[in-house]
Amino acid sequence: MRFSPLRAAGALTLGATLATAVPQAQTPFLLPDNNARRLPSPSRPLQWGDINTIATTDTHGWFGLPLLQPEPNYSGTWRDYASFVTHMQRLAEEKDVDLLLLDSGDMHDGTGPARVVSRAHEECRTGLADGFPPGDVDARASGEFFKQIPYDVLSIGNHELRVYANTLDMHTNFAMHYEGRYLTSNVNITVFDEDGQAVSVPVGSRYRKFTIKKSFSGQSGAESNGPRGRSVTAFGIMFDFTTNAVNTTVQPVEELVKESWFLDTIVDEPDLFLLVGHNPVEGRSSNWQVVFDTIRKLHPTTPITIFGGHLHIRDCVQLDDRSMSLASGRYMETVGWMSVDLDKDGTGPLNLSRRYLDANPTTYMYHTGTNEDTFFTDEGKNITEGLYELEKRFGLTYQYGVAPRDYTLTRDPYPSNGSLPSLIAEEVAPFAISTNTTRVGIPFVLIVSTGSERFDIFKGGMTKNDVLTTYPFVNNYFYVADVPYAAATAILPTMNNDGPERRQQKIWRQEMEVERGYQHWLAAQAAVSVSSDEQLTLGYTTSDSCPGIGDDIPHAPLPFYAIPSFTASRTPDASNAVIDLVFDDFFRDQILKTLNKVQSARVYTLEDVVQYTQIRSNEVLGIYAEHNWN
């Protein structure tokens, strides 16, 4: 994406010019005091088994999070995670057990803040996945840091399939780096072969059969040339995704399990079937059951571990007592842990455990028995240096202003002073689009989709990264002129009553399913009262289907307030007989349909839709911050 902030002082005029370059120097801002406090330690040691797994999913370019509540719980950087992995590999070697590293996809489309430390030891937050300059490929540069984690099995996510160029990069670059460990069992890409013919091939590898062997130089998952270790058969399976880019293919899972290559692969019984994929572990959108049942027909008691994702929640389910399925949340807020004790030729319940680790240095140090002096590895420190150089190259630390307070998606009621949906609809977007339009002075109502609002704003410096993280989608603003006041003001309640499912774009519906599912999960936590003698930090309070307590650290549940699918700017004075109806083009068809529903005086068509401003949706927050928070 490219951000074009309004730069000229006093530029609140018609046809204001938008700059396209990121300034290289600016006067420093005074930042409010950081309100972070000491983080709580985990409640108990991890349960180690014969095979242990560290699992991530839905990282979306999140290389760290800001130190503001409740985010300190999830404030670990990629440097910290890399250091944690190194120490855990050392512990596995000392304990003479196996350790696997897994990821379930969606490393693209995130612009997540990577909190890195500059040479001056000042805190910076950088969106390194989507904040690339023109000419680069999304997440290619940030993927170089991802590749520094020695994952044993990875799978593709649906966000790697949005744009063909991104999928091609995963095929030619990412998959090649992991040499058979990047699994795309039901996902293909069409490329040209050596003869110039178009062929459909797996983005990565269909499956992986490998042998793990206790304690061999920390290289868990490598192929064994010595005495036989434990055998693993692994697959990487995408849910039934249907809005992938042209020249990519996602085979329905029910068809995948009928393929001869798949059936041939599962004939030989391993010590463990390992299923990794961008796929919820339970619920109506999960496809794991059909894969599980197909394997169970041949191998009724073989241990099966499943690592899913996509819904951005912490979750666990057991399909039988010799299996476990785990999802590790989103945005590197959670690092999943699973352990299993194998019983060769056994048939009874397996000894399995799972844990959701808050991703922060306090958690990492507790579980590795290290401290501030011994935890951070040289490899981790090199990652910090690389992130620092990359953020400079991308220009992502340019600061537009200082946010006076936190603005949250769901932790403040809508409408309220702390509500992000209120801020965007009532202040940010109306102000920004009014700086560049021929309709100055004409009253309007602006309809905004809350589905475009992605992450909270935290008190303090508002950088280019923060803008991309909070409001990243690139849409144009259009309007219908001279709409009767009664009809224009009836649009919002009607669209909220109809709901976002009436939108035409399948992509939007699928993304809304993820967001609404995540919000439903938060609402369920907030509805449960927690009594404790100790003061708890805000965070996730997970209730899943597996036995015991999954959360590594107890938290007080996050406050949760439902938000509507659509919000609107403040209503102009009712004395105006007609006003402009303004909206972004992503839900243009629904606007027209609703406008024709709430009035019958005339039929509005696409000919009535006109562009309102040259400013696009991903620019409005920067424009507002630069003029009002400076």
Please report whether residue 378 resides in a domain.
yes
pLDDT of residue 18: 26
CA distance linking residue 105 with residue 167, whole number of Å? 12
Contact present, 146 and 197 (Cβ < 8 Å): no
443 and 379 in a common domain: no
Tokens of 515: 């967001």
Q: Are residues 307 and 405 in the same domain?
A: no
Local mean pLDDT, 10-residue blocks, the chain (630 residues): 25 27 35 51 95 95 57 85 97 96 88 34 37 60 86 96 93 95 98 94 98 54 56 97 95 98 98 96 90 98 97 96 97 95 92 97 96 94 81 82 95 96 98 97 96 89 87 91 97 90 52 78 84 77 95 92 95 92 93 96 97 96 96
Separation CA 299–CA 419 (nearest Å): 52
pLDDT of the residue at 583? 97
Q: Angle at CA 443, nearest 5°, toward 438 and 448?
A: 90
Could you tell me which residues come within 8 angstroms of residue 430 by beta carbon, excluding any fewer than 6 positions away?
A: 444, 446, 569, 570
Token digits of residue 476:
């144009």
Distance CA 124, CA 391 (A): 9
pTM, two decimal places: 0.84
* pLDDT computed for residue 469 by the predictor: 84
Looking at the fold, whether 359 and 435 belong to one and the same domain comes out as: no
303/148 Cα distance (integer angstroms): 30
Instruction: List beta partners, residue 477.
Output: 584
Q: Are residues 404 and 388 in the same domain?
A: no
Long-range contacts of 41-44 (CB under 8 A, 24+ apart): 41/362, 41/363, 41/366, 41/553, 42/357, 42/358, 42/363, 42/366, 42/367, 42/552, 42/553, 43/552, 43/553, 43/554
Q: Is residue 489 part of a domain?
A: yes
228 and 268 belong to one structural domain: yes
Residues counted in the chain: 630
Q: Specify the pLDDT at position 223.
A: 46
The verdict on 251 and 324 lying in the same domain is yes
* 372 C-beta neighbours (distance < 10 Å), count: 8
524 assigned to some structural domain: no
Looking at residue 510, its pLDDT comes to: 63
Note whether 207 and 327 are same-domain residues: yes
Q: What is the pLDDT of residue 527?
A: 85
Residue-level pLDDT at 500: 62
Q: Note the pLDDT of residue 576.
A: 87
In a domain, 577, yes or no: yes
Question: What pLDDT is attached to residue 512?
Answer: 65
C-alpha–C-alpha distance, residues 267 and 448, integer Å = 53
Is the domain of 383 the same as that of 425? no
Single-letter amino acid code for the residue at 473: F
- Residue 552 in any domain: the answer is no
- Which pLDDT score is estimated for 514? 83
Are 375 and 403 in the same domain? no
In 3D, which of 452, 457, 449 has the Cα closest to residue 498? 449
255 CB-near residues (< 8 Å, 6+ apart): none
508 CB-near residues (< 8 Å, 6+ apart): 451, 500, 586, 587
Asked which of 366, 392, 418 is the last residue of a domain, the reply is 392
Q: Which domain holds residue 440?
A: 399-499+565-628
Residue 404: what pLDDT? 96
Please name every residue paired with 52 in a beta bridge, in sequence order, or none if there are none: 99, 339
**Statement to judge: residues 340 and 275 lie in one domain:** yes
Number of compact structural domains in the chain: 2
Whether residue 98 sits in one domain with residue 63: yes
Give pLDDT, residue 74. 86
pLDDT at 229: 84
Does residue 368 belong to any structural domain of this protein?
yes
